[in-house]
């Protein structure tokens, strides 16, 4: 039954919707955690340490964090694979381009595919920058996330990469949330306007919340 559901377009869209909601919930929590940087290095570093001790003493050090990481990787892979396969099906069903483009298609709708690619590349860069320190500027310091974040956003390219990715994220969330609601049956003629408003608000809050950190470093509020 699982294989039958996965092989269908409806099943792939459901996988995209559920995995997208999982990632959206993570992004909201992640944004709130990021904003702790405005309360100083002590508060931010303590938060980063707390993430590694979640569930203690029942869970060992970092076990809960690794479970969250595994769940997120699974959600990202499921989302990307289902999106790619649905895109391939669309191309096979319509090998030639439409003569007339949809006049009312939003900018977010038209850029969902390349926006997803940008976000995928950004995730890799972000992990190499602030998790492993492989591409980090200024000397990566294990256990000092506050200083690592300041180092990253003290470079012009760190700010450009991050802000471009966050803008792509905002567009992705704006369109993706509404699409997920429709796929999961939450949409209706009376609720669609409210769902679109929620999508707009979520996209705006996430974009502003994430961009606030590099802006804070650039303006010297965070230093």
pLDDT surpassing 70 at residue 61: yes
pLDDT surpassing 70 at residue 174: yes
Q: In whole angstroms, give the CA distance from residue 58 to residue 160.
A: 41
SS3 state of residue 100: coil
What SS3 string covers 117-156?
HHHHHHHHHHHHHHCCCCCCCCCCCCCCHHHHHHHHCCCH
Between 70 and 86, the higher pLDDT residue: 70
pTM value > 0.75: yes
Tokens 């996430």 found at: 206
Q: In whole angstroms, give the CA distance from residue 150 to residue 140.
A: 11
What's the rounded mean pLDDT across residues 177-197? 88
- pLDDT tens for 100-125 read 555 444 555 567 778 888 999 999 99
pLDDT surpassing 60 at residue 98: no
Confidence of residue 83 (pLDDT cuts 50, 70, 90): confident
pLDDT surpassing 70 at residue 184: yes
Residue 103 has a pLDDT of 46
Length of the chain: 223
pLDDT surpassing 60 at residue 47: yes
- Residues 202, 23 contacting (CB under 8 angstroms): no
Six-digit token pair at 168? 């792509």
Residue 116 has a pLDDT of 86
What's the rounded mean pLDDT across residues 57-71? 94
The answer to whether the peptide bond before residue 10 is cis (omega within 30 degrees of 0) is no
pLDDT surpassing 60 at residue 99: no
């Amino acid at each position: 039954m699982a294989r039958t559901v996965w092989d269908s377009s409806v099943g792939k869209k459901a996988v995209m919707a559920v995995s997208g909601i999982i990632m959206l919930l993570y992004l909201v929590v992640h944004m709130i955690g990021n904003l702790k940087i405005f309360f100083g290095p002590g508060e931010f570093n303590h938060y980063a340490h707390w993430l590694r001790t979640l569930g203690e003493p029942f869970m060992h050090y970092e076990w809960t964090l690794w479970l969250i990481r595994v769940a997120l990787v699974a959600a990202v892979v499921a989302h990307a694979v289902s999106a790619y396969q649905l895109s391939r099906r669309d191309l096979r069903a319509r090998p030639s381009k439409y003569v007339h483009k949809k006049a009312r298609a939003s900018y977010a709708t038209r850029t969902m595919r390349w926006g997803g690619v940008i976000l995928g590349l950004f995730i890799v860069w972000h992990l190499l920058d602030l998790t492993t320190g492989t591409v980090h500027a200024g000397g990566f310091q294990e256990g000092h996330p506050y200083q690592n974040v300041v180092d990253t956003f003290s470079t012009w390219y760190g700010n450009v990469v991050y802000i471009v990715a966050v803008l792509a994220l905002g567009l992705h969330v704006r369109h993706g949330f509404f699409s997920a609601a429709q796929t999961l049956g939450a949409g209706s003629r009376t609720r669609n306007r409210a769902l679109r408003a929620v999508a707009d608000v979520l996209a705006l809050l996430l974009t502003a919340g994430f961009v606030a950190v590099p802006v804070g470093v650039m303006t010297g509020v965070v230093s």
